[in-house]
Amino acid sequence: MTFEVKYKDLLGRVGRFSVGNKILETPALLPVVNPRTLDIPPKELLNEFGYRGLMTNSYILHTHLAAEVEEKGVHRLLDYDGIIMTDSGAYQILRYGKVSISPLEILEFQKRIKTDIGVILDIPTGGHVTQSYAEYTVNETMKRAEEATRHMGDEKVLWTGPVQGGTYIDLVAISARRMAKLPFDLYALGSPTEIMEQYHFDVLVEMVMAAKRNLPPQKPLHLFGAGHPLIFSFAVAMGCDLFDSAAYALFAKEDRYITETGTVKLKNLEYFPCLCPACRKQTPAEVKKQPKTEREQFLMRHNLYICRGEIDRVKQAVSEGRLWELLELRARAHPSLLTALQTLGRHNAELERHTPTYKPRGIFILGDTAIQRPEILSHERHLLHNYQKPKNAETLLLLPQTSSKPFHTSPEYKKVKKALRDAAVNLRQLHICFYTTPFGVVPIELDEIYPLSQFETVHPPTAEMRLRAVEAVGEYLTVHHYEEVLLHADPTLLDLKALGNLKKRTPLKEITRSRDPWSKRAISRIQKALKTA
């Protein structure tokens, strides 16, 4: 197996995952196929929908089609040339409590049917269980994993090590650390389905992050049962490279129509908000009149197109460095997703560590959630811990952000420069910085560094962003000391109450306050203040 990464953003990555001579671009969704029904022929999943990988259940194959699949191999049986991943029957354990096969038997069976990616028979934790039971699932899964490594052999099967622990985050971390010591080709997080079905996406964030930080970063991570496309961008942002879903078929059987941000009952649709090949051919009224089997076929095909489209949308966001912005858009689809985004933001140190310092596109600041973006936090951290102000600077002049960027080339700043020349100000002792939302303090000598001139933000900023701007100024003044600090205040950018408190505990002096900070009157006040400084 080789796994090559092409693009990165947050913990997400676009890469190439090879199994023998087959290549799967990640992140990739593997549609779950029931080998007994084959509602959508697997060949069509590849040729029509572009899914180069799928998942099927080796336990169902063993129970109902053992002789045929062992004779033909799983690829010929399903008539599918892409990458096949086979689950081991753990889902049946979760649903029915047990399976009638041993871990070693199902492992050897997956070898014989020549699957591409196999999964050991673990014990899934599930959702609402006691801690003692969760500990049992972790320990039993580890015993089975250790036993499996002695029997995996040299066959051309990639093996998956499942991480368990459920909602007990400390157990997920322990399980991941222990599993990481074993020679699996990829790893998977188990037991998220119930959590996602109940929209506890913040819990899912903690589960995935606990697993991801304790697993080898160079190996792919699979998320079992990812389900709905509204969670795909979050899964990728947390470092999941593969995920499977049967939602396209399960929702179709319930007459549910998937969109990027939710599901809609077919009976409630007057129009199809989609231009996929399935939706272009028929109207909701026509589909509603069809027999159930035809409706299900229509809905499955539409759902597959929507899921594939969202995967490509996530890949494009990663390639452009705009994955956080996609998360912000998806977070508006449901309050639980917004909570999940806020939870993910608390892992900002990990996100920052894996986010590129330079991106091919500028960034959009869409509101308060952007305050947690890695690019912003990285600037603040470097400014406080790595930056050194000019050696001879005794006076700091804080100017508001200008209408164009870089700030030092803007027409507004040119007015200030002229005023400084006219006042014969000693520029060697003067340090000029801009305060911005959301980056806080931006020294003039740094304002061309990415992304300080490569962003667009909401205006006027929100109350939270104005408060953060004042806090950022305070943090800067705590670390970098000046004899005099002169503030040219733009009240649309600053929280005035917080500014009043800041002036009480720092040498900050407000020399002027104006909603038109670049007027002739405002500039003259700057000039006058610097003459007497």
* Residue that terminates a domain, selected from 205, 236, 256: 256
pLDDT for the residue numbered 440: 94
pLDDT for the residue numbered 303: 97
CA dihedral 441, 443, 444, 445 (to 10 degrees): -150
Question: Which entry of 39, 79, 81, 87 is annotated as an active-site residue?
Answer: 87
* Residue of 37, 29, 26 lying closest to 4 (CA atoms): 26
Residues 329, 364 contacting (CB under 8 angstroms): no
87 classed as catalytic: yes
3-state helix, strand, coil in the chain (%, to 5): 45, 20, 35
Sheet-wide strand order for 2-9:
2-9, 12-19, 22-26
Q: What secondary structure does DSSP assign to 376-391, as a single string? A: HHHHHHHHHHT----T
Residue 483: exposed, middle, or buried by beta-carbon count in 10 A (0-12, 13-18, 19+)? exposed
d(CA 274, CA 227): 20
pLDDT for the residue numbered 533: 62
- Residue 329 lies inside a defined structural domain of this protein: no
With H, G, I as helix, E, B as strand and everything else as coil, classify residue 222. Answer: strand
Answer yes or no: do 248 and 396 share one domain: no
- Residue 348 lies inside a defined structural domain of this protein: no
Residues 190, 175 contacting (CB under 8 angstroms): no
pLDDT for the residue numbered 193: 83
* Residue that terminates a domain, selected from 216, 241, 256: 256
**Residue 382's CB: how many other CB atoms inside 10 A?**
13
Answer yes or no: do 384 and 249 share one domain: no
Q: Phi/psi of residue 182, each to 5°?
A: -100, 150
Tally the domains of the chain.
Answer: 2
Q: What is the CATH number of the domain that holds 169?
A: 3.20.20.105
- Residue 341 lies inside a defined structural domain of this protein: no
- Residue 347 lies inside a defined structural domain of this protein: no
With H, G, I as helix, E, B as strand and everything else as coil, classify residue 301. Answer: helix
d(CA 256, CA 262): 10
Answer yes or no: do 386 and 237 share one domain: no
Distances (CA, A) of 431 to 153, 392, 423, 464: 66, 9, 16, 27
* Residue of 186, 188, 197 lying closest to 141 (CA atoms): 188
Answer yes or no: do 100 and 232 share one domain: yes
Answer yes or no: do 25 and 156 share one domain: yes
* Residue of 334, 347, 266, 337 lying closest to 300 (CA atoms): 266
Answer yes or no: do 104 and 246 share one domain: yes
CA dihedral 238, 326, 305, 230 (to 10 degrees): 60
Q: What is the CATH number of the domain that holds 452?
A: 3.40.50.10630
- Residue 304 lies inside a defined structural domain of this protein: no
* Residue that terminates a domain, selected from 225, 256, 287: 256
- Residue 272 lies inside a defined structural domain of this protein: no
Non-local (6+) Cβ contacts of 409 within 8 A are none
- Residue 366 lies inside a defined structural domain of this protein: no
Answer yes or no: do 251 and 382 share one domain: no
pLDDT for the residue numbered 58: 96
- Residue 362 lies inside a defined structural domain of this protein: no
Segments forming the whole domain that contains residue 217: 2-256
Answer yes or no: do 242 and 113 share one domain: yes
d(CA 239, CA 155): 28
pLDDT for the residue numbered 272: 96
Average pLDDT of each block of 10 consecutive residues along the chain (533 residues)?
92 92 95 94 96 96 96 97 93 81 95 96 91 96 96 87 96 98 96 87 97 96 91 97 95 96 95 95 96 97 97 97 96 95 94 91 92 93 95 93 94 92 81 94 95 92 95 96 94 95 94 89 89 71
Residue type, 510: E
pLDDT for the residue numbered 426: 76
